[in-house]
């Protein structure tokens, strides 16, 4: 069952992006590895900046992301090309000796990079717009070359009763002319991508707050609480509710099975309109990659396994 698996990732993975250029693996300590054909490394992995990547988005063969280190109280935001080998940046020890802004270290090989003076909460890139949110600062719109388009104050929310961290942004999704931000307290705001202005605010069709994740694929949404409860919503209609054994780590849409593949706490789930299946694992899955009706699972120790959940690949006939 597990023959022909990709080689293990040589570091602890934390975030994964699947895109036209391959599969991008980001590590707990800032490592970057791009996998190409047959999920083999396209270039040797490197660490452009020795901090964990907290938010990331891939667009036009570029990685837009934020780095943060709570101990050093430092954060960066920048752009790295993905059409060439990543470069190793400064060692972490050098960051401790940085005294002034002029002396500040930045990610190696960056197209652009900026110092952040607040914790980055969310980031998304699409088309000609990059949007990100900073804790206690606000929301910002940039071009892919880091030219500022607009900035807005920190969002205010219409909660009848305030609870700790209700207003914290947990997700940001861009959709052509608009974007949405989701708060931990369970509300969603839709805003203009052109100005950042508020268009509407509504209550998420989700589990009881606090929320942990808001995944989206087309018109399908998966809203997850910190306690492992989740709802599957399609075009504003609730399709399914579930309770996991622990928090959701990751979710990906499987276009072949037309459902969600979920990585939980030492468990994997498949939910479709007709299936609801679970499988227990000894390790913690961090990413699930749908492949030809099946899926590959990447675990937190860097190893791969085949998912036990498979589906029928539709026959494709060519029309002359």
Write the DSSP assignment of the chain as a string of letters: --TTPPPPPSS-EEEEEEETTEEEEEETTS-EEEE-GGG-BSS--B-SSSSEEEEEEEETTEEEEEEEETTTTEEEEEEEESSS-------HHHHTT--STTT----TT-SEEEE-SS-EEEEEEETTEEEEEETTTEEEEE-TT--EEEEEEPP----SS--TTTT-EEEEEEETTEEEEEETTSEEEEEETTT--EEEEEE-SSSSSPEEEEEEETTEEEEEETTSEEEEEETTEEEEEEE-SS---EEEEETTTTEEEEE-SSEEEEE-SS-EEEEE-SSPEEEEEEETTEEEEEETTS-EEE-S---PPPP-----
Under the banding of pLDDT at 50, 70 and 90, the label for residue 31 is very high
For 102-139, the pLDDT digits (tens) are: 789 999 999 999 999 999 999 999 999 999 999 999 99
Sign of CA dihedral 164, 166, 167, 173: positive
For 33-69, the pLDDT digits (tens) are: 999 988 999 999 999 999 999 999 999 999 999 999 9
Query: What's the half-sphere exposure (Cβ side, CA atoms, 13 Å) at 129?
Result: 22
Burial class (CB in 10 A: 0-12, 13-18, 19+), 310: middle
Distance CA 207, CA 188 (A): 13
Reply yes or no on whether the pLDDT at 320 is more than 50. Answer: no
Under the banding of pLDDT at 50, 70 and 90, the label for residue 316 is very low
For 161-175, the pLDDT digits (tens) are: 877 789 999 999 999
Under the banding of pLDDT at 50, 70 and 90, the label for residue 2 is low
Distance CA 282, CA 11 (A): 19
Q: Which residue has 């959709």 as its token pair?
A: 175
pLDDT value of position 96: 84
For 251-302, the pLDDT digits (tens) are: 999 999 999 999 999 999 999 999 999 999 999 999 999 988 899 999 999 9
């Amino acid at each position: 069952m597990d023959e022909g698996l990709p080689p293990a990732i040589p570091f602890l993975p934390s975030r994964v992006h699947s895109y036209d250029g391959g599969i991008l693996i980001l590590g707990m300590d800032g490592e970057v590895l791009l996998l190409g054909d047959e999920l083999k490394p396209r270039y040797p992995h490197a660490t452009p900046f020795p901090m964990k990547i907290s938010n990331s988005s891939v667009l036009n063969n570029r990685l837009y992301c934020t780095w943060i280190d709570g101990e050093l109280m430092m954060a960066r935001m920048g752009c790295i090309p993905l059409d060439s080998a990543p470069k190793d940046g400064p060692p972490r020890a050098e960051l401790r000796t940085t005294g002034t802004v002029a002396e500040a270290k930045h990610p190696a090989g960056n197209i652009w990079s900026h110092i952040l003076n607040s914790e980055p909460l969310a980031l998304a890139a699409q088309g000609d717009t990059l949007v990100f949110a900073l804790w206690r600062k606000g929301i910002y719109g940039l071009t892919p070359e880091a030219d500022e388009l607009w900035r807005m104050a920190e969002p205010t929310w219409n909660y009848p009763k305030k609870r700790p961290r209700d207003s914290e942004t947990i997700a940001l999704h861009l959709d052509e002319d608009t974007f949405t931000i989701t708060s931990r307290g369970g509300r969603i705001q839709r805003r203009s991508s052109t100005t950042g202005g508020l268009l509407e605010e509504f209550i998420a069709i989700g589990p009881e707050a606090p929320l942990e994740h808001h995944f989206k694929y087309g018109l399908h949404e998966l809203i997850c609480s910190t306690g492992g409860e989740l709802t599957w919503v399609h075009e504003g209609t609730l399709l399914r509710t579930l309770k996991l054994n622990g928090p959701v780590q990751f979710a990906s849409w499987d276009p072949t099975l037309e459902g969600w593949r979920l990585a939980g706490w030492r468990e994997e789930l498949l939910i479709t309109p007709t299936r609801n299946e679970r499988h227990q694992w000894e390790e913690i899955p961090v990413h699930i990659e749908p492949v030809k009706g099946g899926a590959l699972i990447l675990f937190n120790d860097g190893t791969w396994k085949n998912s036990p959940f498979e589906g029928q690949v539709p026959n494709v006939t060519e029309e002359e």
